[in-house]
Amino acid sequence: MPLDTDKRWDDARRLLHDDTLKTSDRVVGLLLLHYAQDLGSISRLTTGHVHTDGEQVTLQLGDIPVLLPEPLAALVMNLVATRRASTIINNPAATSWLFPGRRHGHPLTPSYLGGRLKKIGIQPGLARSTALFTLATELPAAILARMLGLHIKVAVAWQHASTGDWMTYAADVGRRNEPNRENS
């Protein structure tokens, strides 16, 4: 059963604005809450997944880069600049992992990231389910899959679970773009 959407938004607001929390925890939580990323995918993100043209920041989660809104974009850029591994080589340039782990050359584990979120009151499984449920009501399965890096069957299953019926999506868009026939 998905989490209460009000809790999801309360958690997101706290992560966006509570600067007493670690930047890495805030980014992990926001990627989970807004983009329904699983902890395994988040842990494998590298600085190569983050792109900026100086004005906009995008994150490559799937085939289509996702434009990050502010203040999330600033948090991600701050994380890129300040991330530190818990090793002797404690230099951001020494690793490309966005969430560098304790072992040199390895990212933090999904279970470690999940534990960090639980410590700040976010239940990763429920939060991701709520995010997927919500996104599946708003986007066609094919777009959801391409943007978030999900398998199409997973996106379709979430779409059906959320009762979003996108089978007629293209037809509806086509009808909206047709010239008004009554005026012809």
Q: Quick one: tokens of 24?
A: 């890495």
Pairing of strands 50-52, 66-68: unpaired
Coil, helix or strand for 105? coil
pLDDT tens for the 184 residues of the chain, in order: 445 778 888 999 999 999 999 999 999 999 999 998 999 999 999 999 999 998 899 999 988 899 999 999 999 999 999 987 655 455 555 688 999 988 878 899 999 999 999 999 999 998 988 888 888 888 888 888 888 888 888 878 877 777 645 455 555 556 666 655 444 4
Is there a contact between 134 and 7 (Cβ–Cβ < 8 Å)?
no
Q: Of all residues in the chain, what percent carry a pLDDT higher than 90?
A: 47
How much is the pLDDT for 143? 85
How much is the pLDDT for 15? 97
* 3: DSSP letter: P
Q: In what order do the strands lie in the sheet with 50-52?
A: 50-52, 57-59, 66-68
Q: Quick one: tokens of 87?
A: 């090793």
How much is the pLDDT for 155? 78
User: How far apart, in Å, are the Cα atoms of 5 and each of 1, 11, 15, 100, 169?
Assistant: 12, 10, 15, 31, 25
How much is the pLDDT for 181? 47
Q: Which amino acid is at 126?
A: L
Domains (ranges, CATH) in the chain? 5-183 (1.10.443)
